[in-house]
Amino acid sequence: MNIVELIRKKRFGGALAEAEFRFLLNGYVDGRVPDYQMSAFLMACCFREMSDEEALTFVDVMLRSGEVLDLSDIPGVKVDKHSTGGVGDKVSLILAPIVASCGVLVPMISGRGLGHTGGTLDKLESIPGFRTNLSIPEYKQVLRKTGLVMIGQTEEIAPADKKLYALRDVTGTVECIPLIAGSIMSKKLAEGIDALVLDVKYGRGAFMQQEQEARRLAETLVRIGTYFGKETMAFLTDMNQPLGIAIGNWLEVVESMECLLGRRGEEDASNDLMNLAHALAGAMLMLGKRASSIEEGEEMSREAIRSGAAYRKFLELVEMQGGDVGAIENLENYPLSKHTIDVRIGEGGFITAIDPLELGFAAIMLGAGRQKVDDRIDPKAGILLRKKEGDRVEDHEVVATFFTDREDIIDAARSRIANSFQVGTTPSAQRPLIHSLIDKAGARPWR
């Protein structure tokens, strides 16, 4: 086969066969297809997409580019969760230990930051010593002992996606439903799970800006999971403002630990974060046969926070994966950024909107994300929101604080963050965080 012909075939709207996908993707993994040709193919997919049959084939080839794990020797139902990504989305750090502490096994293979959104691996690796690059035997050992494991892709697990994921991040080819679905499901199906809960986001801070596009992605993901024999459920959630108060890797770890300790989340600005975490946990516990309904699972999730079981489970995970437990138990001892800058608004009123997309890009400026594949992330960098939508704000009041070691971007970052806040004379109408629930039976409104 000829790589250029396959690129042209897709560019003109043709459908690739299984053998052609295998030739292309396996060639990319072993180095016969260079980045520039794969970039051209990805861009062709963005413009022409794929048929349903192609999408299933694409997932299958990506999945079988590496090892498909068999966890049947570890007793218990295995359930994972995946988010399509959003600004301030640190749900996995809270959700996984909640579910594991309730008796459902959570084998989680996560990704790094993609575009303007953060990645679970980058957050975990801000914990000193925490290892996300476990071998398959180590992965199984941690899961067996703790009921929970959180790693990145290994060389064995969906290696085609591992290379494509990094390439899409820096070539403007993220927002394509078949590519997103292929990336997510090839990893998740390779984990050895029995069921999967998805958080599919829409809005300014998500890759899918429009609700109908996010719904189409959610339906695609559920269809793929069902096709491969996994119980799959998707929540459609609003990402038109940041989730919680922290944007940036260590800052998000701190907020997550405060939530696990029960210090945040019920009546404060992390309330949205915890409501979503409890809903997703409820679904995972139901699919994991520990709860008879999502509602019962949600109550179990809240009890795991109240009892401290979820926090203790996270400490157990950190220790098992080589992290410094002392850093988690003494959050205030973490190194500080060189610069801590408050951002103020002019005239007071009510916060009517906060643009998560602009804040995501501002966080990258500060050092919390990547502009190139090989960029180093500063785990300390990021933004703390002092106000959220609907809050009253006085003249010249602080609405956010940012942290960075980069002195040359301070003025630009301050301006970008300030411009992310809109202030009006009356509060804006509150939008529901969770819009709908989608499973193999179709979509239905969430409560």
**H or E element at residue 382:** strand 382-385
Residue-averaged pLDDT of the chain: 93
401, 343 contact by CB (below 8 A): yes
pLDDT digit string (tens) for 196-212? 999 999 999 887 889 99
- Of the candidates 290, 315, 283, 243, the residue with the CA atom closest to the CA atom of residue 438: 283
| Share of residues in the chain with pLDDT > 70 (%) | 99
Query: What confidence tens digit (pLDDT) does each residue in 230-288 have?
Result: 999 999 999 999 999 999 999 999 999 999 999 998 778 899 999 999 999 999 999 99
- Tell me what pLDDT residue 284 has: 98
Q: Helix axis angle, 177-190 relative to 211-227, nearest 10°?
A: 40
Return the pLDDT at 393.
96
Instruction: Give the active site residue among 101, 183, 186, 337.
Output: 183
Q: Is 161 a catalytic residue?
A: yes
Residue 116 annotated in active site: no
Mean pLDDT of 108-123: 80
Q: Give me the catalytic one of 10, 22, 187, 278.
A: 187
Catalytic residue among 82, 90, 370, 387: 82
pLDDT, average across residues 334-362: 96
pLDDT in tens, 363-397: 999 999 877 667 789 999 999 999 999 999 999 99
What is this structure's pTM?
0.91
- Per-residue pLDDT at 110: 84
Question: Across residues 47-54, what is the average pLDDT?
Answer: 92
pLDDT at position 154 is: 76
Burial readout 213-239 (b: 16 or more C-beta within 10 A, e: otherwise)? bbbebbbbbbbbbebbebbbbbbbbbb
The CA radius of gyration of the chain, in Å to the nearest whole number, is 21
Eight-state DSSP code of residue 121 = H
Better-predicted residue by pLDDT, 269 or 309: 309
pLDDT digits (tens, 9 = 90+) for 163-203: 898 888 788 888 788 998 998 899 899 888 999 999 999 99
The whole-number pLDDT of residue 91 equals: 96
Strands 398-404, 339-344: pairing kind: antiparallel
What does the chain come to in residues?
447
Q: Are 22 and 156 contacting, i.e. CB atoms less than 8 angstroms apart?
A: no
Secondary structure (DSSP) of 203-267? STTSSB-SHHHHHHHHHHHHHHHHHTT-EEEEEEEE-SS-SSSEESHHHHHHHHHHHHTTSSSSS
Residue 82 designated active-site? yes
The per-residue pLDDT for 219 is: 95
Instruction: Pick the closest to residue 241 from 276, 274, 202, 215 (CA basis).
Output: 202
Res. 114 pLDDT band, cuts 50 70 90? low
Least confident of 68-72, 89-93, 428-432: 428-432
- pLDDT exceeds 90 at position 335: yes
* Cα angle 182, 176, 16; round to 5: 60
Candidates 161, 169, 199, 355; catalytic one: 161
Task: Please report the DSSP string for 424-436 in residue order.
Answer: ESSPPPPPPSEEE
Q: Which two tokens stand for residue 62?
A: 């990506």
Higher pLDDT among residues 114 and 223, named by residue = 223
Catalytic residue among 168, 204, 380, 388: 168
CA-CA distance, 193 to 76, in Å (whole number)?
10
CB-CB contact of 423 with 347 (8 Å): yes
Please name each of the domains of the chain with its CATH number.
3-48 (1.20.970.10), 79-330 (3.40.1030.10), 336-424 (3.90.1170.30)
Which residues neighbour 82 within 8 Å (Cβ) at sequence distance 6 or greater? 184, 188, 196, 197, 198, 199
